[in-house]
């Protein structure tokens, strides 16, 4: 069968892509998210308004189905985040409305933070996971080692130079407000959206222009954490100099490599649902 990757995405294709993304992120052999850990989201535009598909509360990424995809309008969520007055009651009302409008499933509590991430320029897919090597650092005094600098060139190519580390905050509305504030502060300073947000004593969020990029970011973040754990055991990490980082970040060949990866990821996203349905 020919891949019809040039055709507009149907509702079935969209749901299949969400399921494939979720299952890939939750693959048991990766151990990035166990049981009902972690969640995924995709940005949608419906009747001119932004919405998202987000994993339902209590669902397992590894065995996700189309029934685990919940639609949620982004605008009302961001209004609540920015109000600084709403709380659990208002969140429950939003989630209840989403359940009533859909199949009865409520969004994950992390849906609020997904809305904050999807509001950032260029972000269309988000994956939240708890990889063991990443959490080993995030649950230690060395958590800031993940954002203190860059260790090797491919880390810069995939994760960029501006990862964000967020102190522990209760998941839900307050965490979303904290991340929104810290990302805005970073944007004002660097002009760059972080590709990875590390949450102390919690996990990580990967922010991508495609589902394939989210997977790539998560994979590289896990490698970075593994290298850091080894480096810390061997006497401590040696980070690249600021000059070396700036050179790698702007080298023409590395820019071409980033562009090639982005093009490959876009093709993967468009074609990914043409090779079999995952609507069970």
pLDDT in tens, 240-271: 999 999 998 887 766 676 666 666 655 556 54
Q: What CATH number has the domain bearing residue 175?
A: 3.40.225.10
In a domain, 70, yes or no: yes
**Residue 6 forms part of a structural domain:** no
275 pLDDT tier (thresholds 50, 70, 90): very low
**Which tokens sit at 16?**
């299949």
In angstroms, the CA 235 to CA 69 distance is: 45
Give mean pLDDT, residues 208-230.
98
Residue 126 pLDDT grade (very low, low, confident, very high; cuts 50, 70, 90): very high
User: What integer best gives the mean pLDDT of the chain?
Assistant: 89
Neighbour tally for 106: CB within 10 Å: 19
Confirm whether 98 is domain-assigned.
yes
- The mean pLDDT value for 148-152 works out to 97
* 121 within a domain of the structure (yes/no): yes
Considering only residues 279 and 195, tell me which one the structure prediction assigns the higher pLDDT: 195
Please report, for residues 15, 107, 279, the alpha-carbon distance to residue 66 in angstroms, rounded to integers and kept in the order given: 6, 13, 5
Domain count for the chain, please give it: 1
The answer to whether position 277 is within a domain reads no
The band of 100, judged by pLDDT with boundaries at 50, 70 and 90, is confident
Percent of the chain at pLDDT above 70?
88
In this predicted structure, what is the pLDDT of residue 9? Answer: 76
Question: What pLDDT, on a 0 to 100 scale, did the predictor assign at position 101?
Answer: 84
Token code pair at residue 193: 């959206």
At 1, is the pLDDT very low, low, confident or very high (cuts 50, 70, 90)?
very low
For the chain, how far is it from start to end, CA to CA, in angstroms?
Answer: 21
Has residue 74 got a pLDDT over 60? yes
Choose between 44 and 256: higher pLDDT.
Answer: 44
Confidence of residue 129 (pLDDT cuts 50, 70, 90): very high
Residue 75 placed within a domain: yes
Range of the domain at 57: 11-272
Residue 263: the pLDDT is: 64
Whats the size of the chain, residue-wise? 280
162, 194 contact by CB (below 8 A): yes
Instruction: Answer whether residue 22 shows pLDDT above 90.
Output: yes
- Which pLDDT score, from 0 to 100, does residue 266 have? 59
Rounded to two decimals, what is the model's pTM? 0.89
Say whether pLDDT at 207 is over 90.
yes
As a whole number, mean pLDDT of residues 118-126 equals 98
Say yes or no to pLDDT of 210 above 90: yes
Q: What is the average per-residue pLDDT within 127-139?
A: 99
Instruction: Look at residue 185 and tell me if it is in a domain.
Output: yes
**In-domain check, residue 5:** no
């Amino acid at each position: 069968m020919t891949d019809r990757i040039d055709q507009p995405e149907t509702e079935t294709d969209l749901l299949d892509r969400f399921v494939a993304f979720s299952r890939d992120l939750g693959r048991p052999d990766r151990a990035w998210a166990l049981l009902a850990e972690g969640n995924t989201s995709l940005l949608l535009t419906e009747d001119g308004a932004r919405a998202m598909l987000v994993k339902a509360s209590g669902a397992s990424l590894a065995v996700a189905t189309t029934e685990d995809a919940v639609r949620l309008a982004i605008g009302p969520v961001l209004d609540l985040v920015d109000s600084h007055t709403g709380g659990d009651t208002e969140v429950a009302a939003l989630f209840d409305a989403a359940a009533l409008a859909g199949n009865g499933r409520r969004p994950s509590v992390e849906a609020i933070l997904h809305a904050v991430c999807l509001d950032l320029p260029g972000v269309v897919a988000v994956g939240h996971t708890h990889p063991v090597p990443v959490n080993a650092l995030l649950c230690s005094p060395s958590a800031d080692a993940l954002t203190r600098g860059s260790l090797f060139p491919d880390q810069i190519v995939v994760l960029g130079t501006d990862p964000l580390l967020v102190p522990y905050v209760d998941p839900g509305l307050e965490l979303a407000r904290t991340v929104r504030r810290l990302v805005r502060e970073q944007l004002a300073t660097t002009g760059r959206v972080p590709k990875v947000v590390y949450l102390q004593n919690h996990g990580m969020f990967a922010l991508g222009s495609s589902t394939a990029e989210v997977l790539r970011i998560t994979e590289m973040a896990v490698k970075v954490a593994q290298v850091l754990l080894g480096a810390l055991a061997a006497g401590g990490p040696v980070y690249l100099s600021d000059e070396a980082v700036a050179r790698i970040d702007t080298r023409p060949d590395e820019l071409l490599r980033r562009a090639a990866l982005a093009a490959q990821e876009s093709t993967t996203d468009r074609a990914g649902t043409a090779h079999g349905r995952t609507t069970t």
